[in-house]
């Protein structure tokens, strides 16, 4: 048995992803690039409300799904040391 790279479900060895949506989400998550200066701005200079507004504008500007962008931002913030805890629901 193998595992889906996006949702970690067990799948047959002959398949790469468990569903078409997992495949699309996986490649969209890889395509999302977040500049370090954007991360610095939202975590050092913005409060919680301003940060949420900046993320919404960033998602609409680049036509990215908001849930995937939030996951990517959270993972990058953990990696860069802006926050300590890993995402409990990151896929």
pLDDT of residue 86: 63
- Can you give the pLDDT at residue 85? 77
User: Rounded distance, CA 36 to CA 13, Å?
Assistant: 37
pLDDT value at residue 91: 44
**Would you state the pLDDT for residue 90?**
47
Torsion sign, CA atoms 73, 79, 84, 87: positive
Of the candidates 20, 53, 60, 74, which has an alpha carbon nearest to the alpha carbon of residue 91?
74
Q: In the chain, where are the structural domains located?
A: 1-31, 32-91
- Residue 50: the pLDDT is 96
pLDDT averaged per 10 residues in sequence order, the chain, 91 residues = 90 92 93 95 94 96 95 94 71 44
Contact by Cβ (8 Å): 39, 80: yes
What does the DSSP 8-state code read for residue 11?
A: E
């Amino acid at each position: 048995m193998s595992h889906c790279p996006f949702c970690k479900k067990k799948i047959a060895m002959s398949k790469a992803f468990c569903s078409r949506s997992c495949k699309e989400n996986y490649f969209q998550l890889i395509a999302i690039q977040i500049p370090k200066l954007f991360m610095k701005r939202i975590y050092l200079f913005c409060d919680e409300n301003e940060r949420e507004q900046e993320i919404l504008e960033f998602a609409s500007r680049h036509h990215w799904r908001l849930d995937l962008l939030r996951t990517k931002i959270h993972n990058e913030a953990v990696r860069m040391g802006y926050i300590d805890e890993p995402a409990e629901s990151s896929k």
